[in-house]
Chain A
Amino acid sequence: MKQENNVSPLLIGQPVERMEDARFLSGSGLFVDDLERGGMWHAAILRSPIAHARILSLDASAALAMPGVHAVITAADLDGDVPVIPLRLAPLPAFEPFRQPVIARDKVRYVGEPVAIVVADSRAIAEDALERVEVEFDELSAVTGQGATADPLFEIAADNVSLRYDAGFGDADAAFAKADYVRTERFSVQRHTALPMETRGLLAEWDAAAGRLIVTGATKVTFYNRRALAKMMGLREQDIDLIEVDVGGGFGVRGEFYPEDFLIPFAARKLARPVKWIEDRREHLMAINHSRDVACELSIACRSDGMMLALRGKVFSDMGAYIRTNGGVVPAKAAQFLPGPYRIPNVSVSVEAFMTSKTPVGTYRGPGRFEANFFRERLIDMAALDLGIDVAEIRRKNLITEAELPYPIDGLVPYEGPTSYDTGDYLETFERTLLEIGWRDKQRLQGRLIDGVRHGIGLGCFVESGGAGPKENAVLTLEHDGSLTVAVGSSVLGQGLETVLGQIAADTLTIPFERIRVLHGSTTLVHEGFGTYHSRAVVMGGSAVLDGATKLREKILHQAAIHLGRPNTELTIANEHVVAANGASVSLAALAGAAVLSADGTFGNTTRTYSYGAHAAHVTVDPRTGRVEILDYVAVEDVGRAINPAIVHGQAIGAIVQGLGGVFLDHLIYDEQGQLLNASLADYLVPTASDYPMLRAVTLELRPSLTNPLGAKGAGEGGIVAVAAATANAVAAALAPLGVEIHHLPLTPPRLWRLIHDARARAHTAA
């Protein structure tokens, strides 16, 4: 057989078309609701219609009497032992009493809390039966804001506060006392959520004979969730398989351990039938983690020349009714990222997490960062205006220089050890952002009224952590047909990770990309996996694949050396063969047929890596209506190394648009009774194709990460974290001549109109 001696092109760094696309484009993807099983029953969940109440009685007899209804499961079926959802992240002891039972027993604390599960022949019958379950509630006063209430949510917290802490470094008080300039403002970001297009769903199957449980529809942190489920079910971990199929978006909210992650497997075991549950959109909006909902009283101390001396931030976080798996990540990260990429020697933060009768809060893409950057960057603009310094110049002066890296930011999170901003050139990305937006020319437009609308250009800088440890695992196997299977503990939630991992394996092994299959997430694939969150999948999973591929390459060459009678050093892999310098060759398929060729890859790393960059927005605001239009938007980020630039770019653009939704549209609105008022997509607004067409993302590879062999930093969140900062600063700049200041999101037309109207009224009164 003739061998062409061409070198396989390096795929890392190329915008390779995705291996997952053909199945998605042809409708042959496999999402959890696409699964059917013989004898499968369907579950629907009765959720509390009341924000805060005692449950007096529950009567399921009418529901049970309906044809096709097989069971109604309530807390009573758990023999008085209702499992509680564990804290996966930020496991602060103070949160323990506020964890969520998987089903309400005596009390409900938010609209949407599970009270009963109906299992029936079809989803329609199960939903019909929900209406026949009679629950008598003794309504208590809803807790819709910060502070003590007549009926506290939890007996142990009369003030509804679950956690308070102080943290910091330097001596902020002393710095504030002697500063030339100080300013304090209060800001807030509204409650919203990620809204993946696929709602959640699970299919649980119990094999009574084998004592095994299979749960399909799992994702994100399947191994952790299996551990939690095993404890709750009284099973051994190895008797449970969590299976990941195609996932319609995650963005932080999907794949955490929710009540249903216990309730559906419990129902399947109890009834000895496959049970499927698919969340509908209304219940999704009241059941999946909400996020953001953080307020901050932020103070800055500067010298008169704009050099920052100190920052003091009081973070107030509405956690909703329970502390779920994400613990205190949202407020803790909002506090930690307050100083951002700036050289601020004295920082003091405090966190107050309080409970309300609303859906529990968890992480959503850029948790805490979106908020912190908005708070800080707004206050920097205010300070610059007060001090008569250009808003670009004040940032330039205070951004941490490359010479100062690594820059320690220890002590801002009580449950985390020391950490440092690693590599980077923060000024370079900032200057690039100014260049891209055309800052020099556009400055003259600030606040100008042209054709009835006011122009504003805003800036926002950020630093963003990613790549959290502890480790990740991969198994690479050369199949008998010479193709390669890559199995990894990382989860895929639609980002294109299969392709990225395939590129890494293809380059390392010089096996054609088309001959690689990537399996992911399921607990059956590797002995231990750590999942996909905190922009870690490429850093950790990618590095594990790299390690496994390197080891497999050695094994393949070793086997080929025996076969060909030539030393390893004379062998290369090309065109699905191992070729010796003398021209002799053996196919990969033949080698795989002769011996098991498989290698375990692993990558351990406990050091975080920090991506960074800046965003700039050019907007117009119509003062007659409060409507904002984005004329230009640019996000610049250094991701260290982009394995697939098209995928990284897609992450950035998608994240910017999600962020703009968070600035202008997304808002979970509750009334005084704790009712969620907009639990439908007709009322909960997210961006559409016509909203924000003028966006650009620039991905740079200036400074590779030193924490991993790929040099990659996280790339999924940098696109969102500075959107509120830059956009709100642009809107504020546009409206500055009217005396309007921006403190609170979302920037809806009515809110902006009200601010403009009030500012005019004030000006009128003053005149």
Chain B
Amino acid sequence: MTRSRTVHLTVNGNPATLDAEPRVTLADALRGELRLTGTHLGCEHGVCGACTIIVDGAAMRSCLMLAVQAEGRDITTVEGLGDAAHLGPLQLAFRKHHALQCGFCTPGILTTAHALLLEEPDAGEERIREVISGNLCRCTGYLPIVAAIMEARTAYAGALAEAAQ
């Protein structure tokens, strides 16, 4: 059997170390080794988007990335967006707009939207829909998801303005 490699990375702001066989996906390593089970696997072939995480600022499918490719990367998972007692602006907007039902696709949609709004806090409805169209949801029909992301834009724009000052 192929030997494990050690991978050093940053996850949700903290340094982390993974021991992973070369064939192990980043999704499996995050879930299995780091026990960050908020990242979900819906298809394991890069279509459904449930496993989306943010790698060096860009939304990526962690099922299509190998753990060994994460060496030196800065990763944000859904757990990094706010815990149950301290939800972030996107999470709060999702709750307010009933933008989730079963919650399985939700982590990947939150991370996708987070990456989008960090780059484009003024993204329009059409743009949001386009970006989210890479994430499948079977419960909500997407309308409340788009509404929630629209609402969260102000918080991101505010944070950006603050950072610029």
Contact = CB atoms under 8 A, between A and B. Distances in A.
Contact of B146 (A28, A124, A650, A689): A689
B101 A495 contact: yes
Contact of B95 (A17, A194, A247, A690): A17
A693 B144 CA distance: 10
Centre residue among A21, A494, A495 by max chain B CB count within 10 A: A21
Contacts of B145: 689
B101 A496 contact: yes
Given A24-B103, A197-B105, A647 B47 contact: no
Nearest to B92: A25
A28 B84 contact: yes
Interface in A105-158: 124
B161 interface: no
Contact of A18 (B48, B98, B143): B98
17 contacts: A26-B91, A27-B79, A28-B79, A29-B38, A29-B104, A33-B37, A249-B139, A251-B138, A281-B42, A495-B101, A495-B102, A650-B139, A655-B141, A658-B141, A688-B135, A689-B146, A692-B141
B159 to A, nearest CB: 18
Contacts of B77: 27
Interface in B1-44: 1, 23-24, 31, 35-44
Contact of B135 (A281, A657, A689): A689
B121 interface: no
Given A24-B100, A494-B102, A690-B129, A196 B37 contact: no
Interface string B70-99: 000000011101111101000100111010
A195 B102 contact: no
A714 to B, nearest CB: 16
A650 B35 CA distance: 31
A658 to B, nearest CB: 7
Contacts of B129: 689-690, 693
A493 interface: yes
B83 A26 contact: yes
A195 B41 contact: no
Given A281-B42, A494-B101, A690-B129, A21 B141 contact: no
Given A25-B78, A647-B98, 14 more contacts: A15-B98, A25-B84, A27-B78, A28-B38, A29-B38, A31-B40, A33-B37, A198-B104, A249-B101, A280-B44, A495-B101, A496-B98, A649-B98, A681-B47
A281 B84 CA distance: 29
B26 to A, nearest CB: 15
B67 to A, nearest CB: 13
A248 interface: yes
A280 B81 CA distance: 28
B94 A25 contact: yes
A653 interface: yes
A26 B96 contact: no
Given A27-B77, A249-B139, A198 B40 contact: yes
Contact of A197 (B38, B95, B130, B137): B137
Contacts of B83: 26, 28
B69 interface: no
Interface string B122-165: 00000001101111111111111110000000000000000000
B106 interface: yes
Contact of A281 (B43, B133, B134): B43
Contacts of B35: 36
Interface in A33-53: 33-34, 36
Contacts of B115: none
A26 B84 CA distance: 5
A712 interface: no
Contacts, number: 187
| Interface bracket on A | 35 or more
Minimum-distance CB pairs A-B, first 8: A27-B38, A494-B102, A24-B103, A248-B104, A657-B141, A27-B78, A681-B47, A34-B37
A22 interface: yes
A647 B144 CA distance: 11
Contacts of B68: none
Nearest to B146: A689
Interface string A491-533: 0011110000000000000000000000000000000000000
A756 B43 CA distance: 36
Given A25-B110, A26-B83, A658-B138, A124 B23 contact: yes
B98 A650 contact: yes
A129 to B, nearest CB: 13
Contacts of B137: 197, 689
A169 to B, nearest CB: 37
A196 B102 CA distance: 9
A197 B50 contact: yes
Contacts of A656: 141
A711 interface: no
B42 A693 contact: no
A67 B1 CA distance: 9
Contact of A681 (B24, B45, B96, B140): B45
Nearest to A651: B101
Output the residue of B38, B91, B95, B103 with the most chain A CB within 10 A.
B103
A680 interface: yes
A30 B104 CA distance: 10
Interface string A651-688: 00111111000000000000000000000111000111
A25 B104 contact: no
A197 B36 contact: no
A643 to B, nearest CB: 14
Contacts of B132: 688-689
Contact of B138 (A17, A25, A197, A246): A197
Nearest to A24: B103
B94 A197 contact: no
Given A494-B103, A686-B136, A681 B48 contact: yes
B75 to A, nearest CB: 13
B143 A25 contact: no
Nearest to A125: B1
A249 B44 contact: no
Contact of A688 (B23, B39, B136): B136
B138 A654 contact: yes
A650 B133 contact: no
Contacts of A691: 133
A30 B96 CA distance: 22
Contacts of A199: 42
Given A18-B98, A26-B84, A649-B98, A31 B141 contact: no
Given A27-B36, A690-B130, A690-B133, A249 B100 contact: no
Nearest to B24: A124
A249 B138 contact: yes
Contacts of B81: 26
B40 A650 contact: no
Contacts of A649: 98
Contacts of A198: 40, 42, 102, 104
Contacts of A682: 45, 47
A505 B53 CA distance: 38
Contacts of A654: 101, 138-141
A59 B88 CA distance: 55
A646 to B, nearest CB: 5
A680 B47 contact: yes
Contacts of B44: 280-281
Contacts of A246: 102-103
A16 to B, nearest CB: 10
